Structure 1
Amino acid sequence: MSTSPGPGTRRLVRCVVGNETYCIDNDWLDSIQVVENLYPSRSADGSIGWIRRFDEKVPVFRLADQISSAHSRGASRQGVIMVLRKGEKLWALLVDKVTAASEVELDRMCPLPAVAGDTVRGHFPGVVVEEEGIMLYLAPDRVVPPEVSGVRSPAPHAASRRASHVRVAPRRIQVGLRRAAQQIITFTLVHETPMTSPVRFGVTAGQAVEIVSELPMIAVPQAPPFVVGLAKWRSLPIPVVDLGAWLGMTPAPYTPGCRLLLCRGTISGGGRDAGLLAVPAVDDIRKLDLPIEYRPWPEPVKWNSALALGIYRAERTMLVIPDLDAVLSFRNAVSSYTM
């Protein structure tokens, strides 16, 4: 049987690390070996040992270590070894499990949203959207030192090249924008520790897309601490952002069953991603007709006010208008971040 992918598809191999499943392009795969072939030997480059491939010693790296995964790493004598090749370079990754390669349509491969990671240099240039959920697309040449994989400069991977196939937003949510511009959605957050004074947050009704309570979600290793993960919504990967942590307030993280407010920025996400994000732990949601009475907040705040478009006193409480564009363009526009 031919192993070549059909037109408009990529052949992907799935590998399991802890409770997470990642996928790589089958073109990287040289062979699969049993863990009994491993010669344990810790090295300064992070490898945990080596295997023999013909007359060559191939360094083996534990994938969980390389992506700083929080999963249980177990012993080196557990799992399966994926031998990978780029030109004359060989290296291997130790994972828990590998499944048979299968074809995936290119339209199901999306770039990783900007706030969740770097598609050019990061370990995960993209996301694969499936019927039952989403899965991170791994660049195996980026999870090992460049002298091992032979990478001199990052090359685009299949998922990051699919940018032109990712719409900024579904067309149906454009309906009623003119009317929505005359309204504002305000809400509170369920913080881990209650704020000393009540705080409400606001977005225009045109930015508020939908309120949901359950979405398939995955964690993203090495994402900023305020990025809870990625959720699947209408065949799109949406970053889930702890708005409280982003602003430097007490975190308001995702918890099972909590409500999420799907929002979009005011600028186009371009071909890079959908330009949407989900805010978890929202509560007490209200829709107000504009104009409303407000005035600037008179006192300094103890969180990062530079990440808000405005801070006001309205409805007898603080009203914060978060800069959603700053969140969505985080990796591209912000060189460093301090909480």
Structure 2
Amino acid sequence: MTGTKEQARTNQITLPNREGKYLTFALASEEYGLEILTVREIIGYIEVTAVPQTPHYVKGVINLRGQVIPVIDLRAKFGMETAAVTEQSCIIVVEITQEGRTYSVGIIVDRVQEVLDIPGDSIEEPPRFGASVNTDFILGMGKVGSSVKILLDIDKVLAGDRLEHVG
């Protein structure tokens, strides 16, 4: 083995404490995962009521069995091009914690894929892109077969959004 390959292998830090079950989903051609314990439920896309004076990525609110839940367009939050709603579009209802309080929030995704059990030795630290790119919201990079799933910390993805005022 050459020194370069050996060095590259030792630079890959795995995250055994991140092993577990992840709900995987797609946005455009990218694949993501959420810790299954943060997922409350998955529903088909339903009409969202717009709320004025909210950020562009806050789609609005839904009434889910009597509970008003804010809904985030994850594509817009990540700066991706918007896409039309399809039959595969879903709202994943997650539980997030902000300032010590727990809230339900819906996130719109292109399609839900599956629940995967990802071992810790298959999860690496997120890549570092320098100080100008924030990757704090990424738990790790899950290697599954020949693909990579971006494992999200949903609390950090939605941190600072003050969603309790929307729902």
**1:169-188 correspondence runs (5 A):** 182-188=20-26
Distance 1:299 1:306, change over 3 A: closer
Using structure 1 for the length normalisation, give the TM-score: 0.35
**1:122-271 correspondence runs (5 A):** 182-189=20-27, 191=28, 198-251=29-82, 255=85, 257=87, 258-266=89-97, 270=101
Within 2, Cα distance between the matches of 1:241 and 1:296?
Answer: 26
* Alignment match, 2:110: 282
Distance 1:290 1:306, change over 3 A: closer
By how many angstroms is 1:309 displaced? 2.8
Q: Which has the higher contact order (CA 8 A, sep 6+)?
A: 2
- One-letter amino acid of the counterpart of residue 35, structure 2: T
Distance 1:229 1:304, change over 3 A: farther
* Alignment match, 1:309: 138
Within 2, Cα distance between the matches of 1:249 and 1:295?
Answer: 24
C-alpha contact (below 8 Å) 1:310/1:322 kept by paired residues: yes
* Alignment match, 1:53: none
By how many angstroms is 1:247 displaced? 2.2
By how many angstroms is 1:214 displaced? 4.1
Distance 1:248 1:214, change over 3 A: closer
By how many angstroms is 1:290 displaced? 4.0
CA-atom RMSD in angstroms: 3.2
Distance 1:256 1:184, change over 3 A: closer
Match of 1:321 among 151, 162, 166: 151
* Alignment match, 1:291: 119
**1:18-97 correspondence runs (5 A):** none
SS of the equivalent of 2:77 reads helix
C-alpha contact (below 8 Å) 1:183/1:287 kept by paired residues: yes
CA-to-aligned-CA distance 1:78-104 (integer Å, 9 cap, x gap): xxxxxxxxxxxxxxxxxxxxxxxxxxx
- Where do 5+ consecutive residues of structure 1 fail to align? 1-180, 192-197, 333-339
Using structure 2 for the length normalisation, give the TM-score: 0.66
Within 1, Cα distance between the matches of 2:86 and 2:58?
Answer: 16
Distance 1:266 1:186, change over 3 A: farther
SS of the equivalent of 2:162 reads helix
By how many angstroms is 1:201 displaced? 1.2
Distance 1:261 1:282, change over 3 A: farther
SS of the equivalent of 2:119 reads coil
Aligned residues: 140
- One-letter amino acid of the counterpart of residue 188, structure 1: A
Within 2, Cα distance between the matches of 1:182 and 1:287?
Answer: 10
Within 2, Cα distance between the matches of 1:276 and 1:311?
Answer: 23
- One-letter amino acid of the counterpart of residue 68, structure 2: P
- One-letter amino acid of the counterpart of residue 213, structure 1: G
SS of the equivalent of 1:206 reads helix
C-alpha contact (below 8 Å) 1:252/1:281 kept by paired residues: no
Of the two, which has the highest radius of gyration? Answer: 1
- Where do 5+ consecutive residues of structure 2 fail to align? 1-18
SS of the equivalent of 2:37 reads coil
Q: Percent identity?
A: 23
CA-to-aligned-CA distance 1:35-58 (integer Å, 9 cap, x gap): xxxxxxxxxxxxxxxxxxxxxxxx
- One-letter amino acid of the counterpart of residue 289, structure 1: D
By how many angstroms is 1:265 displaced? 1.6
